[in-house]
Structure formats: structure tokens, C-alpha cells
Amino acid sequence: DAGITQSPRHKVTETGTPVTLRCHQTENHRYMYWYRQDPGHGLRLIHYSYGVKDTDKGEVSDGYSVSRSKTEDFLLTLESATSSQTSVYFCAISESVEGPHGYTFGSGTRLTVV
């Protein structure tokens, strides 16, 4: 059921280095999202996209940027990684903002910043 894949699955990086996470979908869904999940905070929206080159900020966007040059790919970049960005990152896709199918999530990327 590889409608949405994330890469890499695990990454360890050093403080201050740039990091890019990739989300790829084969469902042709318009909407794509990046969330981070941390204990006690749940899933928090970082950035989302509502079309090619159309992106907007979420709840916790500081220190992150995104790009969407193709419908199928949504990239999340940590410009200069910090230890506070150690987290599990999930990409999600949806057909519509309020549709009945909700979101489909990728398998996640576990990022550790040392």
C-alpha cells in the first residue's frame, strides 16, 4: 500500500547541518502535510501544501521550509538542525481539506539531532 512513502526512515544528523526529508505520493492528492510528533504534544502541523508551488505555514513552522515542485513530491528542509528538532516526522496526504477520507500518513521519519 505504498501510496505515500517517506525517506529516509531514520536519520542522525549533527547540530547546525541542513536536512531534507522527502515525501512521495502516488495518489495524485492535492493536499500534502508535514507533521512532527513528540511525547506530550501529539501531532503538530509544520507546513502544508494545497498544490504545486502553493504552501503555507502550520503551527510550528519556525526553522523549517518546504517545497513542492511536483504534485507527487513534498520536501521538508531543516535549514540548520537543532536538538529541539529531534522528533518523528510524518507526511500526510488528503483529497480535500474536509473530505470524508481524512488523511493518509506515511510511515514516518525518525530524526535525531546530536
Partner 1 sequence: QKEVEQNSGPLSVPEGAIASLNCTYSDRVSQSFFWYRQYSGKSPELIMSIYSNGDKEDGRFTAQLNKASQYVSLLIRDSQPSDSATYLCAVKGTFGTGTKLQVIP
Residues 4, 23: contact at Cβ < 8 Å? yes
Among 29, 106, 111, 113, binds partner 1 (CB under 8 A): 106
Regarding 112 and contact with partner 1 (CB under 8 A), the answer is no
What's the burial of 101, exposed, middle or buried (CB within 10 Å: 0-12/13-18/19+)? exposed
Establish if 2 lies at the interface with partner 1 (CB under 8 A).
no
Structural contact between residues 50 and 61, judged by C-beta atoms closer than 8 angstroms: no
Rounded to a whole number of angstroms, the minimum distance from the CB of residue 103 to partner 1 is: 7
Looking at 9-17, 22-30, 67-75, 92-100, which segment touches partner 1 (CB under 8 A)? Answer: 92-100
Of 39, 37, 75, 79, the residue nearest 62 (C-alpha): 79
Site residues (CB under 8 A) for partner 1? 33, 35, 40-45, 48, 90, 97-108
